[in-house]
Amino acid sequence: MRLSIVSLAKPILHGYFRSSCSWRVRIAFALKGIEYEQIPVNLVKDGGQQLTDQYKALNPMQQVPAVEIDGITLSQSLAVIQYIDETRQGPKLLPACPKKRAQVRMICDIIASGIQPLQNLYVIQKIGADKAQWAQHFIQRGFQALEPILKGTAGTYCVGDEISMADICLVPQVYNAERFKVDVGQFPTIDRLNQTLVGVEAFKLSHPSCQPDTPADLRS
C-alpha cells in the first residue's frame, strides 16, 4: 500500500500548554511515538488568540486543540485520539474487548463532557469572582461519580492493565483539580491511578511544564 504525501506529513497541533484538551492529544501522540509540530495558541494573550478570525477559520468553536492531519482538520481531542488510534501503529488506546471499550468511552465522556467543560477558561471567565469555588464544586462533583466507577474498572490503569484513552483524559483532569485546590487524596483510586500514570514517559514528555509555549516561571 502506497502512502500519500499528505499522510507522510507531520501532524500540526494548534494548542496551549495548559489546556487539558491539548494535553490529551500530546499524550496520545507520545504514546504512539508520532512526531508532530506545535503551533501555540495563547488563550489569554491579546484577549485570546483563539478568538482571532484566522484561528476561527481553522476551528469555528474557537477552542484548542485543532489538529491538521492527513489533509483534514480535527478540532475535538477525543476525535483526534480515536483517529490516530485507527490510522497509526503503536499501542492501542481503545481496548479490543467491547465491554472494556465501552467503559473507556464512559470514563472519557464523564471527564470530557461532565467535568472539564464546566471549569475551562471560557466558562470560569464568565463566572467572575466565584470562579475558583465554581471549578472546585464541579470537579468535586465529577470525581465523586468517577471514583466508584474507576474502583470497579481499574487494574494498573483506569480500565484493566493497559493504558487507554481513559488514562489520557484522567491525568490532565487531576492536574486541573490540583490547580483549583481540590484535595485529590479523598479519592484514593483516582489518586493512585494518577500517581502511576505521571511516572510514564509519555505523560512526562507531554506535561504542561515542558512545552514550547510554557512560560519560564512554570517550567520544570
Predicted pLDDT at 7: 59
50-78 pLDDT per residue, tens: 999 999 999 999 999 999 999 999 999 99
Mean pLDDT within 202-210? 97
CA nearest 48: which of 122, 135, 120? Answer: 122
149-202 pLDDT per residue, tens: 999 999 999 999 999 999 999 999 999 999 999 999 999 999 999 999 999 999
Class of domain 98-204: mainly alpha
Q: Give the integer Cα–Cα distance in Å for 82 and 101.
A: 12
Class of domain 13-91: alpha beta
| Cβ-contact 169, 108 below 8 angstroms | yes
Residue ranges per structural domain of the chain: 13-91, 98-204
Residue 122's contacts (CB-CB under 8 Å, 6 or more residues apart) are: 63
Burial class (CB in 10 A: 0-12, 13-18, 19+), 159: buried
Q: What is the value of pTM for the model shown?
A: 0.94
